């Protein structure tokens, strides 16, 4: 039996209902609010205000704008039972105070329970691996549907498990 790494399957966290290919916000706050609306609509969070407070508290400490046009706003809240996440793609680049000072178009918001650190860190690590690839970022930006995003995530998760 071959050794397989304990890789989180992104498809168990992200669903078609938690993907939006056309975010309209033009500011960090507007994008975060749109992402939270996705999670509320998908019944992934019940206390929107607590979720917003957790994410904005984290943003105040340090921006979650990464490199290569990606931002991963995240937070921890006592109102969250299990890790939840969503992906949004913006038609226009948004200043998210990224590490490389470039605007962002790909946004992954995640919330997790206060007492569970493992899944949160594992999810962030898996997302970081996925978006290291220039080709995968381009595929995500050019996706025509939520199904396309799910396929791209499934391909990357399968690649990670083979390593």
Using DSSP, state whether 163 is helix, strand or coil. coil
Residue 68 lies in a domain: yes
pLDDT at 159: 53
CA dihedral 122, 124, 130, 136 (to 10 degrees): 150
Using DSSP, state whether 134 is helix, strand or coil. helix
Domain extent, residue 58, equals 11-162
Residue 45 lies in a domain: yes
Residue 5 lies in a domain: no
pLDDT by residue for the chain (163 residues), tens only, comes to: 333 344 456 767 889 999 999 999 999 999 999 999 999 999 999 999 999 999 999 999 998 999 999 999 999 999 998 999 999 999 999 999 999 999 999 999 999 998 887 777 888 888 877 788 899 899 999 999 999 998 888 775 555 444 4
Residue 60 lies in a domain: yes
CATH code, domain with 86: 3.40.930.10
Residue 120 lies in a domain: yes
Residue 4 lies in a domain: no
Q: What is the tally of structural domains in the chain?
A: 1
For residues 101 and 109, what is the distance between their CA atoms, to the nearest angstrom? Answer: 20
Residue 61 lies in a domain: yes
Do the beta carbons of residue 15 and residue 85 sit within 8 Å?
A: no
Residue 98 lies in a domain: yes
Task: For 60-91, give one letter per residue: b (16+ CB within 10 A) or e.
Answer: eeebbbbebbbbbbbbbbebbeebbbbbbbbe
């Amino acid at each position: 039996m071959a050794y397989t790494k304990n890789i989180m399957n992104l498809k168990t966290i992200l669903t078609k209902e938690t993907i939006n290919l056309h975010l309209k916000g033009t500011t960090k706050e507007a994008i975060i609010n749109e992402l939270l609306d996705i999670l509320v609509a998908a019944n992934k969070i019940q206390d929107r205000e607590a979720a917003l407070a957790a994410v904005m508290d984290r943003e105040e400490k340090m921006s979650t704008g990464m490199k290569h046009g990606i931002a991963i706003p995240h937070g921890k809240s006592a109102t969250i039972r299990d890790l939840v996440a969503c992906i949004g793609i913006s038609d226009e680049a948004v200043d998210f105070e990224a590490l490389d000072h470039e605007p962002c178009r790909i946004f992954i918001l995640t919330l997790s329970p206060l007492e569970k650190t493992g899944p949160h860190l594992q999810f962030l690590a898996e997302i970081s691996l996925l978006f290291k690839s220039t080709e995968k970022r381009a595929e995500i930006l050019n996706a025509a549907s939520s199904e396309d995003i799910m396929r791209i995530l499934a391909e990357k998760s399968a690649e990670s498990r083979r390593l």
